[in-house]
């Protein structure tokens, strides 16, 4: 569980990592460009969106990460450089070259990310001019870097924890257009532990599967999703099993933070499914519940309409569902037994649905498959945010 890992009270970078962010004119005043830098080349791995309209940084990133080595990540907000054709890819390459020039490295050691509105050409000249001199701003507070990648996020997001002699730090952004098939909107993980690239890739994929891959704010897979990990080795080797456990815990905790900061959200929704025929079916059912607009609005309104849970389970047509073995709980309070709604005190269920964190548990009773999904409620704020996103 995420709480089993003692995260640092204040996020810090591992040895050799620093960041800087500044406003370069993409936004009126807020920070809109971030550099994350390792003082030495770092082993690296990454996973990207599976959307069929990937942004130019994704196209370039898939090429860059084949080398398995990074020195830096440069990321901008406000403009995502998606649906921008060959010019967009060229601008992403120019962005990498600009960062590489500032850092004294090569462009193939720089991962590029962009997030924001789709279908607008990147103002690359502003980025090229703005990155000049950023090395003088490099500092140890990861929250500074997190600020520069925010779009509709209500706050910057960063975590860090120790594993043996090493540190792992997570920096992420995202609050809408989130149902990843690999990772969240933008998520960067930094460590001073030593791993080779194939091992790092395997560990990253093992960590995102139960965490970021189980996150959904609104069922929409972004065109810009990126999750990258950099390991510069300055702390030396660490126990691989302990590192993986910490990596999963941190990714899971960040998943919860991202879900709670969903656009307009007022509740973190966690859905645990047990007793499925296998892990795949548990995954499908958990996602079905967390993605249901009717379940989301039930949580938002603290409305004890638990038939919506049964609906969301029952519509998983390709799963083994037996009503007579299905039970359900809301924050530990049983509301369904053997497929039937229990007679319960509505006031008690309304009260438990009013909590900031709502845990829904469903036991299917047909196998040993289990999965947990993470999401949030739907509010008027989500509609207001996205009804004017392009114009804002």
Cα distance between residue 254 and residue 364, in whole Å? 28
User: Which of 64, 84, 184, 191 is labelled catalytic?
Assistant: 184
Distances (CA, A) of 8 to 159, 187, 204, 261: 7, 18, 21, 20
Contact 18, 139 (CB under 8 A): yes
Contact 43, 196 (CB under 8 A): yes
Q: Count Cβ atoms below 10 Å from residue 370 Cβ, excluding itself.
A: 18
Cα distance between residue 124 and residue 90, in whole Å? 10
Catalytic residue status for 135: no
Contact 204, 47 (CB under 8 A): yes
Non-local (6+) Cβ contacts of 186 within 8 A are: 75, 113, 115, 149, 172, 173, 174, 224, 225, 226, 227
Q: Burial, 167: exposed, middle or buried (Cβ in 10 Å; 0-12, 13-18, 19+)?
A: buried
324: left (phi over 0), alpha (psi -120 to 50) or beta: alpha
Rounded (10°) angle between helices 197-208 and 240-260 = 40
When computed from its CA atoms, the radius of gyration of the chain, rounded to whole angstroms, is 21
Bridge partners for 112 per DSSP: 74
Question: Among 85, 70, 65, 64, which residue's Cα sits nearest to residue 36?
Answer: 70
**Which residues are known to be catalytic?**
184
């Amino acid at each position: 569980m995420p709480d089993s890992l003692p995260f640092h009270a204040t996020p810090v970078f591992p040895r050799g990592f620093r960041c800087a962010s500044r406003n370069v004119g993409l936004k009126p005043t807020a920070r809109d460009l971030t550099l994350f830098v390792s003082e030495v080349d770092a082993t690296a791995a990454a996973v990207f969106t599976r959307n069929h309209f990937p942004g130019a940084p994704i196209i370039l990133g898939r090429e860059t990460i084949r080398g398995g080595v990074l020195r830096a990540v440069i990321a901008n907000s406000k403009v995502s450089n998606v649906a921008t054709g060959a010019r967009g890819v060229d601008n992403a390459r120019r962005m990498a070259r600009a960062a590489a020039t500032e850092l004294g490295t090569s462009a193939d050691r720089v991962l590029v990310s962009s997030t924001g509105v789709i279908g607008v050409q990147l103002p690359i000249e502003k980025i090229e001019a703005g990155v000049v001199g950023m090395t003088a701003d490099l500092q140890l507070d990861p929250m500074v870097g997190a600020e520069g990648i925010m779009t509709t996020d209500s706050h910057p997001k960063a975590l860090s924890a120790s594993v043996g002699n090493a540190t792992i730090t997570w920096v992420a952004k995202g609050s809408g257009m989130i149902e990843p098939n690999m990772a969240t909107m933008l998520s960067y993980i930094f460590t001073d532990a030593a791993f080779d690239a194939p091992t790092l890739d395997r560990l990253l994929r093992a960590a995102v599967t139960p965490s970021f891959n189980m996150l959904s704010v609104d069922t929409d897979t972004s065109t810009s999703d990126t999750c990258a990990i950099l390991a510069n080795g300055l702390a030396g080797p660490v126990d691989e099993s302990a590192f993986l456990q910490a990596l999963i815990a941190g990714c899971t905790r960040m998943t919860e933070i991202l879900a709670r900061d969903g656009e307009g959200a007022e509740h973190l929704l966690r859905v645990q499914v047990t007793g499925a025929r296998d892990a795949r079916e548990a995954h499908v059912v958990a996602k079905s519940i967390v993605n249901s607009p009717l379940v989301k609005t039930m949580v938002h309104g603290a409305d004890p309409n638990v038939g919506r849970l049964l609906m969301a389970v029952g519509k998983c047509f390709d799963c083994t569902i037996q009503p007579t073995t299905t039970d359900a709980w809301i924050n530990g309070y049983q509301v369904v037994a053997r497929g039937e709604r229990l007679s319960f005190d509505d006031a008690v269920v309304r009260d438990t649905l009013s909590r900031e964190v709502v845990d829904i548990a469903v036991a299917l009773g047909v196998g040993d498959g289990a999965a947990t999904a993470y999401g949030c409620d739907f509010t008027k704020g989500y509609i207001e945010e996205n009804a004017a996103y392009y114009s804002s």
